[in-house]
A and B are shown apart, each in its own frame.
Chain A
Amino acid sequence: MKAVILFHSTNHAIWAEDELKSNNIVCKMISVPRHLSSDCGYCVQIDTEDKEKATDILNTNKIEFEKIETL
């Protein structure tokens, strides 16, 4: 199962990807699925089991994100 983390800004999405990878979370930048947002940018895809750990990393680094959705 996969989940995606949505951000208000692509700048934050790329920052998040860097921090998550530094903390050994497997992640990938993908286009934002249309059913989740009308934004035309990208988001970060992770494994659902990493949701909690990823949230902690984002909060620790004060990286603002919109929401995490399971696909």
Chain B
Amino acid sequence: MLKDRTHGGVIYFDNAATSFPKPQCVTDAVIRYMTQIGANPGRSGHKMAIEAGQIVYKTRKSIATLFGLRNPMHVIFTSNATEALNLAIKGVLEKGDHAVTSSMEHNSTIRPLHEMEKDGTISLSIIQADKTGILDPQKIRRAITTKTKAIIINHASNVIGCIQPIREIGKICRESGIIFIVDCAQSAGVVPIDIDRDNIDILAFAGHKGLYGPTGTGGMVISDGFDFKRIKPLKYGGTGSFSDKIEQPDFLPDRFESGTLNVAGLNGLLAGSKYIQKREGGIERILEHKTELQNYFIQKAETFVKDFYCYSSSQLPSTSVIAFKINSYSVSETTQILSDRYGIMSRQGLHCSPLAHKTIGTFPEGTLRFGFSIFNKKEEIDLAVQALKSVSEGKRT
């Protein structure tokens, strides 16, 4: 058995699914709301309701700052990035429209698009990335037709961690008057993003991965200059505004935020968002740190682990989401051994991204995946490499 484990006796490398542990301030913030504030934001005028409303506002403002947005009302909270992507995709695309996406998308993008294609609402072009997962913006340009309304691209792969040239793709969208929707589920809090400079119209983010908030948090961010009335709401209902009317309000954020928000989660997200933005070196340093960890792992594993094969590149900046396998073992078997015998948490399979696995040549079996967080250390990677070495040599230590 391995010694010196952290985080309650385990080594947690499943941060691409959700980050763990969370900073203590995140847990404290959730507890503070649950024990001291508790009220419904925007539904009454008492002191506790106002404080709950202030939490939601401060979280909006912190997320706006993170993405270089001026108007905090353009931050719309959803339960996760999947809901935000569904809202953006279904809200923007209409009968007869054409959409362009890529072979690196998560099912949160490809499934709503595929459903809309299947029921005859839209036509869809899926642009093939190369084996390293990177898209050629010129291929995207060539797929544009007179009916193309939106281009939807995954910023950082949840399978191999590669980062797409979104600024360049966004420029093509700007030049062609096409709406650019970016899935930032894996990149928010890891890769610096500026909604204006990166030419993004709408982005979706997860609150519980690189922003270290609780699960059940995420959102859609609309650029300051984008006409938000081009997006139809996904949900209709109570907003605490214009309660005398049965029409949905047409201003932000109420247009898209019906029903009581997850304020406990948002207070945690606020703490997480502030935590990473205040870290020395900011988001740039987080990306450097993750790239260092990724390269360290790949180099060590390639040296010591028999039959190790890695699909993520050590030559490019990365969100430290690493797809690999030990060729002599099935990925499910390796994951199980890592968890049961060594207390190392990883994820195996297709990671909800069948097209990405087809792109890198690992469909249908999939791969193992490690995803490092800001809290992971080289010592933990050393222990994991030692465990993988034992597995690859068939040892049952």
Q: Which residues of A contact B (CB under 8 A)?
A: 8-15, 18, 29-32, 38-42, 62, 64
Contact = CB atoms under 8 A, between A and B. Distances in A.
Interface of B is mostly: loop
Contact of B243 (A15, A40, A62, A64): A40
Chain A interface helix/strand/loop/mixed: mixed
A64 B252 CA distance: 10
B56 interface: yes
Interface residues of B, number: 26
Contacts of B46: 31
A8 B243 CA distance: 10
Contact of A11 (B45, B57, B242, B244): B57
A13 B244 CA distance: 18
Given A11-B57, A41-B241, A31 B251 contact: no
B45 A31 contact: yes
A15 B42 CA distance: 12
A12 B249 CA distance: 13
B53 A10 contact: yes
A4 to B, nearest CB: 11
A41 B240 contact: yes
Nearest to B58: A18
A62 B74 CA distance: 12
27 contacts: A8-B249, A9-B239, A9-B241, A9-B249, A10-B53, A10-B240, A10-B241, A11-B42, A11-B53, A11-B56, A11-B73, A13-B53, A14-B53, A14-B54, A15-B57, A30-B45, A31-B44, A31-B45, A31-B46, A38-B243, A39-B241, A40-B45, A41-B42, A41-B240, A42-B44, A42-B49, A42-B53
A41 B244 contact: no
B43 to A, nearest CB: 7
B43 A11 contact: no
Contacts of B343: none
Contacts of B254: 9, 11
A11 B253 contact: yes
A42 B54 CA distance: 12
Q: Which of A8, A11, A42, A62 has most B Cβ within 10 Å?
A: A11
Contacts of A8: 241-242, 249, 251
A42 B259 CA distance: 18
A14 B254 CA distance: 14
Given A9-B240, A9-B254, A41 B45 contact: yes
Given A11-B253, A31-B44, A62-B71, 12 more contacts: A8-B251, A10-B43, A11-B57, A11-B254, A14-B53, A15-B57, A15-B72, A39-B243, A40-B45, A41-B44, A41-B45, A42-B53
Contacts of B43: 10, 40-41
A14 B241 contact: no
Contacts of A18: 57, 61
B126 interface: no
B37 interface: no
